[in-house]
């Protein structure tokens, strides 16, 4: 089970990923009441029909092999590091859901060991939630640039929305601030998902990324 310290580190490390805004409240439920609100990692997003829903916004790990100068989780930054197992993360999501803290999940991760290793662990989480825990709540997953197309495409079949960060506006700035990353590795996943999404819509397949894709 994820303890309070690990939860604080992994939710704090996720706050710069654009998805929604913090709840800003730690109000607890009372006898006879309905609903809960909590500071730690709880934020908001909006559904297609305009409903505002609460999400758990968290990283699977903030241990990163990259040293991007703009990122709080860069390898050289002296910050507390933690990594959750897929099972720990799933248990946390289900516990929060049962307590009515959240209606969905925003999941990302620093690149631990390698893009494929990280993407495999993220895929493990969403597959467990959907298949083992029968979780049908909203899931927004951050794809890992540089991971295999197979892993990215498979993950897209289990989540509502997927996004891959462009990071910087030009290849020149990328080389300056994030020399370990390449423009191709950042752009290709978005192009692949966009094409697969167009194909799914043409085939009237509403299960493939029903909420689409985004970036930041």
DSSP string, 50-114: S-EEEEEEEESB---S---TT-TT-TTS-----B--HHHHHHHHHHHHHTTS-SEEEEE----S-
What local confidence, expressed as pLDDT, does residue 121 receive?
Answer: 98
Q: Does 26 fall in a domain?
A: no
The enclosing domain of 190 has a CATH number of: 3.20.20.70
The pLDDT of residue 110 is above 80: yes
CA 106 distance to own-chain centroid: 4
Dihedrals phi, psi of 180, to nearest 5 degrees: -80, -10
Q: Report, as an integer, the average pLDDT of 158-181.
A: 85
Q: Is the pLDDT of residue 34 over 60?
A: no
pLDDT at 30 over 60: no
Identify whether 39 is part of a domain.
yes
Count of structural domains within the chain: 1
Closest CA to 127 of 107, 103, 148, 100: 107
CA angle 48, 60, 182 (to 5 degrees): 85
- Asked whether residue 28 is assigned to any structural domain, the reply reads no
C-alpha pair distances (Å), 214 with each of 9, 64, 155, 176: 25, 23, 15, 25
- The reply to whether 16 falls in a domain is yes
pLDDT at residue 48 in the model: 64
pLDDT tens per residue, range 46-72: 666 677 888 999 999 999 999 999 999
Domain range enclosing 74: 4-21+34-214
Q: Is residue 143 part of a domain?
A: yes
Q: Assess if residue 135 is contained within a domain.
A: yes
Q: Quick check: is 27 in a domain?
A: no
Better-predicted residue by pLDDT, 141 or 175: 141
28 pLDDT more than 70? no
More confident of the two residues 40 and 173: 173
pLDDT in tens, 115-129: 999 999 999 999 999
Quick check: 156 pLDDT over 90?
yes
Cα–Cα dist 210/159, whole Å = 8
Task: Determine, yes or no, domain membership for 29.
Answer: no
């Amino acid at each position: 089970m994820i303890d309070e310290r690990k939860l604080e580190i992994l939710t704090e490390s996720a706050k710069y990923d654009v998805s929604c805004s913090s709840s800003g409240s730690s109000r607890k439920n009372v006898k006879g009441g309905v609903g809960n609100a909590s500071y730690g990692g709880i934020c908001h997003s909006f559904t297609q029909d305009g409903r505002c829903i609460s999400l758990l916004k968290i990283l699977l790990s903030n241990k990163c092999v990259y040293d991007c100068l703009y990122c709080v989780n860069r390898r050289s930054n002296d910050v507390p590091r933690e990594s959750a197992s897929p099972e720990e993360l799933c248990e946390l999501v289900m516990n929060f859901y049962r307590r009515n803290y959240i209606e969905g999940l925003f999941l990302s991760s620093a690149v631990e060991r390698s893009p494929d290793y990280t993407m495999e662990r993220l895929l493990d989480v969403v597959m467990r939630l959907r298949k083992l825990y029968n979780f049908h709540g909203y899931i927004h997953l951050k794809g890992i640039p540089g991971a295999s197309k197979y892993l990215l495409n498979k993950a897209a079949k289990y989540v509502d929305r997927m996004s891959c960060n462009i990071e910087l506006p030009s290849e020149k700035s990328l080389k300056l601030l994030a020399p370990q990353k390449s423009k191709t590795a950042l752009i290709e996943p978005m192009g692949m998902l966009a094409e697969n999404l167009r194909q799914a819509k043409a085939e009237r397949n509403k299960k493939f990324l029903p909420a689409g894709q985004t970036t930041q």
